[in-house]
Amino acid sequence: MKTTPTRISDESPVSGPAGGPVEGPPRTFENRRPLAQRVRDWCTAFAFTVPALVLFGLFVLMPILYALYVSFFNWGGFGAPSDFTGADNYVRLLGDPVFLGDLWRGLLLVLMSVGVQLPFALAMAVLLNQKLRGRAFYRMLFFAPYVLSEVITGVLFSMIFSPDDGLADKVLGAIGLDHVGGLWFADQDWVLPTLFLVMMWKYFGFHMMLYLAGLQSVPDELHEAARIDGAGPWQRFRHITLPLLGPTIRISVFLSVIGAIQLFDLVWVVTQGGPDHHSETMAVTLFQFGFRRYQIGYASAISIAMFLISLVFALLYQRYVLRRDTEGAITTMRGAR
Amino acid sequence: MSGLTFTARRRLRSAPLYVIVWAIGVVMVTPLLYAVVSGFKTTDQLSDNAFGPPSPWVVSNYTDILASGSFWRMLASSTLIAIGTTLLTVGAAALAAFALARFAFRGRELLFTLFTAGLMFPFAVAILPLFILLRTFGLLDNPWGVILPQAAFGLPMTLVVLRGFFREIPAEVEEAATLDGCSPFGFFWRILLPMARPALGTVCVLAVVGSWNNFLLPLLVFSEPGWWTIPVGVQQFQGQYAADIARVFAYLVLAMIPALGFYAVAERQLIGGITMGATKG
């Protein structure tokens, strides 16, 4: 998301952008420095990045490259991969109903999140941005599930939604709605919506906090002026709050898509992808093939597919959706300080 | 219009808002409270009397777990791994962020872009080759097998936040330090880091929470219960005591306490961190 040119030292000698941070030492000084010193500087800078580079290279970049390599083999995980099968794993992937189903379910989760969870979080943020008594308490309460691990959340709700003797069925039974839900996670049609409910319980507070932070940068004067001009609450929300929250909303959509792509812990603990794959995600499929059936080559192809999907999505999203925020986001952040 | 009726009208208008917020609060809190209360029942009580208070209150679910060594061992191993991960992530990221923020060198933005690209790599993408790599290095059933990859995947976010913070420290401070004979590392260690304490607090809290809640990696790395972390322990406990639900509830509650306690203490840093990470990333 950075647009700063790479070759800083050759730029004309001006200080940083108006009011912005000055990058490194003053450039007038930089330009006059002899080559030997610049080389020394480069070496110092490089030395500082070595620990991070080693960690990142060994445990992030190398595994991904290795997965790419292995994905062209039929491999059980022991010895060196030798049975080269070309693109077979990928061809198989594109015809695998479970994987295609993963994509579909991922899309459903994203749609539910963007259509239900995020508007709900936004509504709560706007509500708790008003002068309500106890709003600090409610903010803290709504965000609290975010700090719990997905495993704890998953185990908790698998017991709450346990058929017949779980809290959900008991409550529904007590108010005469026994026919609703029923099997929950064990029902092919209910499992995904129920999972989504749990995700919403856990994550809407996170998005609400993002929106609340964004709302801080919406100046009160704008609302004041609009109110004087006779704009109602809805009009003010629609024409002031919403446009000014644009950058925050786009980030929160981005985060919830990335979250849906890598969803694993919750599903694994609650359903392991069942019943009959109806809650399976890409990461669960990957785990099943990689660590249960030892088809490492095929599982690697799944992880490369996940990687490509994330990458393409992130690049497109940055190129077409986030690009226009770069300028606006920076100025509003400055204004908020 | 007198002031009194104005306030009264405003109160009345905001009444539905209070009802909405309160109702959602109830939905949020019920699962947690239900778990706490259910932990004080026996499983038989739980199926006969789901809503009412326990009669009698049974504390053995909680005390049995607290008396067993395994719960404390998991707490210790979660803590140790979280501390290791945090030190390593923040240490390596701070050094790199210093170079990427305060030095002008060719390839700097490219390097930064490479690191930030790590923000979009889901952990699950690398898990399979990571596992093979750790097996090759002999890091399975070894806490480093969890700490090192967690630190590596924590780098991008930490780096983005710290670099943003380091850039805002005026160049005059650095010039003054250099004139006084400070080496680059001396400036970093004695001036920059102390000035960046709030940002460091924030990234530390994020790293701790990330490590504390990680499940996939410790699940794969630790085949022996000796190093199991809390999420792995919770999953195993549920499998082991599937029939004794009340006991599982008690276990869940005890497993939640450290995370919720940490949240209560570090709320400001945590929320500052997630919003900063999201807006600057």
| pLDDT digit string, tens, across residues A263-310 | 999 999 999 887 888 899 999 999 999 888 888 899 999 999 998 998
pLDDT at position A2 is: 37
Looking at beta carbons, which residues of chain A come within 8 Å of B279?
Answer: 213-214, 247-248, 251, 329, 333
Nearest CA in chain B to A38: B105
Which of B34, B105, B270 should we substitute to test contact with A (largest number of A Cβ atoms within 10 Å)? Answer: B105
Secondary structure letter of residue A83 according to DSSP: E
Q: What pLDDT digit, counting tens, does each position of A181-225 carry?
A: 678 888 888 899 999 999 999 999 999 999 998 898 888 888 888
What is the average pLDDT value for chain B, to the nearest integer?
87
- Give the model's pLDDT for residue B267: 86
Dump the DSSP string for chain B: --HHHHHHHHHHHHHHHHHHHHHHHHHHHHHHHHHHHHTTS-HHHHHH-SSSPPSS---HHHHHHHHSHHHHHHHHHHHHHHHHHHHHHHHHHHHHHHHHHH---TTHHHHHHHHHHGGGS-HHHHHHHHHHHHHHHT-TTSTHHHHHHHHHHHHHHHHHHHHHHHHTS-HHHHHHHHHTT--HHHHIIIIIHHHTHHHHHHHHHHHHHHHHH--HHHHHH--SGGG--HHHHHHHHHHHTTT-HHHHHHHHHHHHHHHHHHHHHHHHHHHHHHHHHHHH-
Residues of B in contact with A290 (CB under 8 A): 127-128, 131
Domain boundaries, chain B: 3-38, 69-280
pLDDT in the model for residue A12? 37
Q: Which range has highest mean pLDDT (A8-12, A164-168, A302-306)?
A: A302-306
Domain of residue A270 covers 97-336
Q: Name the pLDDT band for B86 (thresholds 50, 70, 90).
A: very high
If we measure between CA atoms, which residue out of A254, A269, A280, A259 comes closest to residue A103?
A: A280
Nearest to B102 among A24, A151, A329 (CB): A24
Q: How confident is the model over A48-61, as pLDDT tens digits?
A: 889 999 999 999 88
Q: How confident is the model at residue A336 (pLDDT cuts 50, 70, 90)?
A: very low
How much is the pTM?
A: 0.85
Q: What is the mean pLDDT of residues A131-147?
A: 90
What residues form DSSP beta bridges with A74?
A83
Nearest chain B CA: its distance from A189 CA (Å):
23
Q: Residue A227's CB: how many other CB atoms inside 10 A?
A: 13
DSSP A204-249: HHHHHHHHHHHHTTS-HHHHHHHHHTT--HHHHIIIIIHHHHHHHH
Same domain? A54 vs A126: no
Residue A232: predicted pLDDT: 85
**Is residue A56 in a domain?**
yes
Q: Is B229's pLDDT higher than 80?
A: yes
Q: Do B152 and A156 touch (CB under 8 A)?
A: no
Q: Residue A29 pLDDT more than 60?
A: no
Least confident of A2-11, A124-133, B252-261: A2-11
Q: Which residues pair with A83 in a beta bridge?
A: A74
Provide the chain B residues 148-207 that lie in CB contact (below 8 A) with chain A: 148-149, 151-153, 155, 159, 167-168, 170-171, 174-175, 184, 188
Q: Examine residue A78 and state whether it is found in any structural domain, yes or no.
A: no
Q: Is A134 inside any structural domain? A: yes
| Predicted pLDDT of residue B4 | 59
The rounded Cα B142 to chain-centroid distance in angstroms is 21
Q: How confident is the model at residue B279 (pLDDT cuts 50, 70, 90)?
A: low
Cβ contact (<8 Å) for A67 and B129?
Answer: yes
**Cβ atoms A184, A191 nearer than 8 A:** yes
Contact B121 A140 (CB under 8 A): no
Q: What is the pLDDT of residues A256-265, one digit of tens each?
A: 888 888 899 9
Count the Cβ atoms, other than its own, within 10 Å of residue A181.
18
Residue A238 Cα to chain centre, angstroms:
26
Q: Which amino acid is at A192?
A: L
Element (H, E) at A157: helix A150-160
Query: Which residue type sits at B206?
Result: L
List, as ranges, residues 128-147 from B with C-beta within 8 Å of A.
128-133
Instruction: Using an 8 Å CB-CB cutoff, list chain B residues near A303.
Output: 124-129
Does A326 have pLDDT greater than 70?
Answer: no
Residues A62 and A68: their CA atoms lie apart, in Å, by 10
Quick one: what percent of chain A has pLDDT higher than 70? 85
- Return the higher-pLDDT residue of B251 and B11: B251
**What does the pLDDT look like over B4-43, one tens digit per residue?**
576 777 777 778 888 999 999 999 999 999 999 999 988 8
Q: What is the pLDDT of residue A173?
A: 80
Q: Above 50 in pLDDT, residue A5? A: no
Q: What mean pLDDT, rounded, does chain A reach?
A: 82
Q: Is residue A245 part of a domain?
A: yes
Contacts of A21 in chain B (CB under 8 A): 167-168
- Do A41 and A165 reside in the same domain of the chain? no
| Total domains in the fold of chain A | 2
Shortest CB distance from B271 goes to which of A128, A143, A291? A143
How distant, in Å, are the alpha carbons of A182, B33, B253 from that of A156?
17, 11, 9
Which residues in chain A have their CB less than 8 angstroms from residue B100's CB? 49
Residues of chain B with Cβ-Cβ distance to A156 below 8 Å are 31, 35, 252
Q: SS3 of A153, please?
A: helix
CB contact under 8 A, A159 and B245: yes
- Answer whether B102 touches A (CB < 8 Å): yes
For residue A149, is it within any domain? yes
Give me the amino acid identity at A45.
A
A19 within a domain of the structure (yes/no): no
pLDDT at A325 exceeding the cut of 70: no
Confidence class of residue A83 from pLDDT cuts 50, 70 and 90? Answer: confident
Residue A26: pLDDT band by 50, 70, 90 thresholds?
A: very low
Check whether residue A56 and residue A193 sit in a common domain: no
Identify all chain B residues contacting A9, using CB atoms and an 8 Å cutoff: 104-106
pLDDT band for position B175 (cuts 50, 70, 90): confident
Show Cβ contacts of residue A110 under 8 Å, excluding neighbours closer than 6 positions.
A256, A257, A260
Per-residue pLDDT at A328 exceeds 50: no
B residues 55-94 closer than 8 Å to A (CB)? 88, 91-93
**A79: helix, strand or coil:** coil
More confident of the two residues B132 and A28: B132
Distance of alpha carbon B19 from the chain centroid: 32
State the Cα–Cα distance between residues B2 and B204, nearest whole angstrom: 53
Q: What is the pLDDT of residue B280?
A: 56
pLDDT in tens, B35-72: 999 999 888 888 787 778 888 888 988 998 899 888 99
Count interface pairs A-B at CB distance under 8 A.
297
- Whether pLDDT at A134 is above 90: no
Give a yes or no: residue A68 inside a domain.
Answer: no
Beta-strand (E) ranges in chain A? 73-74, 83-84
| Chain A residues inside the 8 Å CB shell of B240 | none
Residue A10 DSSP class: G
Query: Are A85 and A73 a contacting pair, CB within 8 Å?
Result: yes
pLDDT band at B178 (very low <50, low <70, confident <90, very high): confident
Substitution target in A11, A41, A49 with the highest count of B β-carbons within 10 Å is A49
Query: Does residue A275 have a cis bond before it (omega within 30 degrees)?
Result: yes
Residue of A nearest to B132 (CA): A77
A157-166, A318-327, B102-111, B263-272: segment of lowest average pLDDT: A318-327
A317 close to B (CB below 8 A): no
Cis check for the bond before B56: say yes or no (omega within 30 of 0).
yes
Q: Is the CB of B121 inside 8 Å of chain A's CB atoms? A: yes
Q: Which residue of B has its CA nearest to A42?
A: B105
Tens of pLDDT, residues A235-257: 888 888 898 898 889 889 988 88
The Cα–Cα gap between A313 and B117 comes to 12
Whether residue A168 lies inside any domain: the answer is: yes
Q: Which of B14, B129, B263 sits opposite A144 (nearest CB)?
A: B263
B256 pLDDT above the threshold of 90: yes
Q: Would the ipTM clear 0.95, i.e. be above it?
A: no
Contact between chains at A155 and B99 (C-beta distance less than 8 A): no
- A88-117 residues touching B, CB cutoff 8 A: none
Q: Does A64 touch chain B (CB under 8 A)?
A: yes
For residues B46 and B67, the answer to whether their CB atoms sit within 8 Å is no
Q: What are phi and psi of B242, to 5 degrees?
A: -55, -30
- Chain A window 170-189: which residues touch B at a Cβ cutoff of 8 Å? 170, 174
The residue assigned the tokens 């609340």 is: A212
Amino acid symbol at B50: A
Which one, of A180, B121, A93, lies nearest residue A170 by Cα? A180
Residue whose entry in the numeric block shows the structure tokens 């992530």: B89
| Whole-number Å distance between alpha carbons of B269 and A329 | 22
Q: Which of A208, A177, A35, A229 is nearest to B25 (CA)?
A: A208
- Within 8 A by CB and 6+ apart from B172, the residues are none
| Residue at which a domain ends, from A46, A61, A76 | A61
Rounded CA-CA distance A242/B252 in Å is 39
CB nearest to B104's CB, from A23, A152, A255: A23
Q: Which of B18, B24, B235 sits opposite A151 (nearest CB)?
A: B235
**CATH of region B69-280:** 1.10.3720.10
- Does any CB of chain A come closer than 8 Å to the CB of residue B115? yes
pLDDT at A16 over 70: no
Residue A228's contacts (CB-CB under 8 Å, 6 or more residues apart) are none
A264: left (phi over 0), alpha (psi -120 to 50) or beta: alpha
Q: Higher-confidence residue: B280 or A82?
A: A82
